């Protein structure tokens, strides 16, 4: 199995980050499976399906301003796609709350995101102003 995601997978995930950062929440259904399983990084637990993910992202954007920039995408030994991301979270006034590097682990099938997990086991603090 190749460690490089397919061009379609790269486009799917890159597009999802772009839509998320632009707060185009209604674009979610086009990229994720109807029964998608997603981590609720803000409140804990998980959300399932288009509606719950859209509602979660709506609540999140009403309380903070997260921005996640993909730095690297590789397929792991189980076939999942690991994305190293630079995550910057600010409050609604623009004050920095978090600046870190984490891994998002995706399950993708038939051109749709089935689920995502966040790996924060050993986050690497990003330097301000650097990726």
**pTM score, whole prediction:** 0.86
Across the range 15-44, mean pLDDT stands at 92
CB-CB contact of 5 with 74 (8 Å): yes
CATH topology of domain 7-125: Nuclear Transport Factor 2; Chain: A, (3.10.450)
Closest-CA residue to 23 (of 76, 52, 64, 51): 64
- Provide the mean pLDDT of the chain: 89
Torsion of the alpha carbons at 123, 58, 62 and 126, rounded to the nearest 10: 20
Query: Which pLDDT value is given to residue 41?
Result: 87
Query: Which pLDDT value is given to residue 28?
Result: 80
For the chain, what are the domain ranges? 7-125
Query: Which pLDDT value is given to residue 1?
Result: 58
The model's pLDDT over 78-121, given as tens digits with 9 standing for 90+, comes to 999 999 999 999 999 999 999 999 999 999 999 999 999 998 76
- 52 burial (CB, 10 Å; 0-12 / 13-18 / 19+) is middle
Chain centroid to CA 117: how far? Answer: 8
Q: How far apart are CA 103 and CA 117, in angstroms?
A: 8
Query: Which pLDDT value is given to residue 68?
Result: 96
Query: Which pLDDT value is given to residue 3?
Result: 87
């Amino acid at each position: 199995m190749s460690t490089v995601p397919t061009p379609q997978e790269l486009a799917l995930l890159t597009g999802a980050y772009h839509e998320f950062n632009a707060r185009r929440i209604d674009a979610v259904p086009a990229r994720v499976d109807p029964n998608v399983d997603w981590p609720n990084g803000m409140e804990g637990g998980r959300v399932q399906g288009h509606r719950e993910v859209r509602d979660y992202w709506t609540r999140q954007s009403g309380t903070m301003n997260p921005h996640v920039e993909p730095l690297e995408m590789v397929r792991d030994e189980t076939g999942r796609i690991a994305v190293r991301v630079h995550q910057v979270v600010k409050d609604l006034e623009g004050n920095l709350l978090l600046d870190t590097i984490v891994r998002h682990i995706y399950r993708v099938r038939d051109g749709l995101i089935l689920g995502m997990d966040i790996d924060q086991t050993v986050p690497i603090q990003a330097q301000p102003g650097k990726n």
